[in-house]
Amino acid sequence: MRIALFATCLADTLFPEAAKATVLLLERLGHEVVFPAEQTCCGQMHVNTGYQAAALPLVKRYASVFDPYDVIVAPSGSCVGSIRHQHSMVAAAYGDAGLAARAADVGSRTYELSELLVDVLGVEDVGAYFPHRVTYHPTCHSLRMTRVGDKPLRLLRQVRGLDLVELPAAEQCCGFGGTFAIKNAETSTAMLADKMTNIVSTGADVCTAGDASCLMHIGGGLSRLRTGVRTVHLAEILASTEFTS
C-alpha cells in the first residue's frame, strides 16, 4: 500500500526518530511510504490556544498537501485527533464550506499509527524485538479524541522480548496539554509528579506512548529527577528488530 506520512512538526524537528521509525516499520511490512515535503504543522497549538483564524492557513495546507493520498499516517494520536475533529470546524468557522468538506474528507483518511496497523493493514504482530520492561501511557488525545482503544497494547503484546507492565492510573492526564504546560506550569508539574510516581512504581525501564508531545513532557520530568526511566515512542519500539536492538 502507498501511505503518505504526516511527520508532525514536533517529531520532524525534535523527535525525528519517531517519524523515521514509522517509515522503516511500514517499509519493513512491505508498504511504500511517501513524504510530501510541503507539509508543516496541523495547527493544533493555534486552535487549542485560541487562535483559530491563525490556524486556518495550516488547515488549508494540510488538506491540499494530503488530498491526493488515500491513506495518511501520523505517529501522533493528538495531531490525528485535531485533524479529524478540529480542521473542518475551523474551516467552517473561518473558511468556506468547500474547505470544511475537504478537510473532513482528508481527516477521515488520516490514521494514527496503531490504527493504521491494526484497522487498515490488519497486522498486530509487526515482527518487532525489544527486550525491555515497558509501561504504556495511553495519552489523553489518543484515548479520548482519536479513540485508539487498546490497539497500541495489542501491538506491544506481540513484541518479542518485551515485558509489558501495567501503569497505575494510566488514563490520568500527564499534565502536558500543549500550552497548558506553560500557562499553568505549576498545575502541570503537579500532574506530572503523580504520573512519574506511577511510572517509577512499575519498575519499567521504558515508558512508551503514541505521542511525542506527552513523551517530551514525561521524559523531561523523568530526566530531571534522574529516575533512570527513559521514554521511547511506540513507533520506535515497533520498528525495533533483533538486528537494530
Partner 1 sequence: MSTFLGMPATAPRGVGHLRGDQTFPRAAHDALGNSQLRRNLRHATTTIRGKSGKVIAELPDWQELRDAGSAIKADVMARLPELLEELEARVTEAGGVVHWAADANEANEIVTRLVRETGSSRVIKVKSMATQEIGLNEALEEAGITPVETDLAELIVQLGDDKPSHILVPAIHRNRSEIREIFLRAMPGVDPALTDDPPVLAAAARRYLRETFLSTEVAVSGANFAIAATGTLGVVESEGNGRMCLTLPDTLITVMGIEKVLPTWRDLEVFLQLLPRASTGERMNPYTTMWTGVTPGDGPQNFHLVLLDNGRSAVLADTAGRQALHCIRCSACLNVCPVYERTGGHSYGSVYPGPIGAVLSPQLTGVADNASLPYASSLCGACFDACPVKIDIPSLLVHLRNQVPHPPAERAAMAAAAYTMARPRLYANAQRAAKLARIAGRRGRGLPPPFSGWTAGRDLPEFPSQTFRDWWAER
Instruction: Assess 220 for contact with partner 1 (CB under 8 A).
Output: yes
The site map against partner 1 for 96-135 (x = CB under 8 A) is: ----------------------------------------
C-alpha distances out from residue 98 to 82, 104, 201, Å? 19, 10, 51
Cell of 59: 488547515
Query: Are the C-beta atoms of residues 199 and 167 closer than 8 Å to each other?
Result: yes
- Beta carbon nearer to partner 1, 5 or 159: 5
Nearest to partner 1 of 215, 237 (CB atom)? 215
Task: List the one residue from 4, 46, 121, 128 that touches partner 1 (CB under 8 A).
Answer: 46
Query: Closest separation between CB of residue 21 and partner 1, Å?
Result: 10
- Using the contact rule CB under 8 A, the part of the chain among 56-64, 122-130, 155-163, 203-211 near partner 1 is 56-64
Instruction: Pick from 16, 68, 131, 203 the residue near partner 1 by CB under 8 A.
Output: 16
Among 138, 152, 178, 210, binds partner 1 (CB under 8 A): 178
**Shortest Å distance, C-beta 114 to partner 1:** 18
Least distance (Å) from partner 1 to the CB of residue 170? 12
- The answer to whether the Cα torsion of 210, 231, 170, 155 is positive or negative is positive
Our CB check for partner 1 shows the closer of 106 and 159 to be 106
Q: Which residue has the cell 490504527?
A: 115
- Is residue 48 within 8 A of residue 179, CB to CB? The reply is yes
Residues near partner 1 (CB under 8 A) are 7, 9, 11-17, 19-20, 23, 35, 37-41, 43, 45-52, 54-55, 57-58, 61, 85-86, 89, 140-141, 143-145, 171-173, 175-192, 216-217, 219-221, 223-224
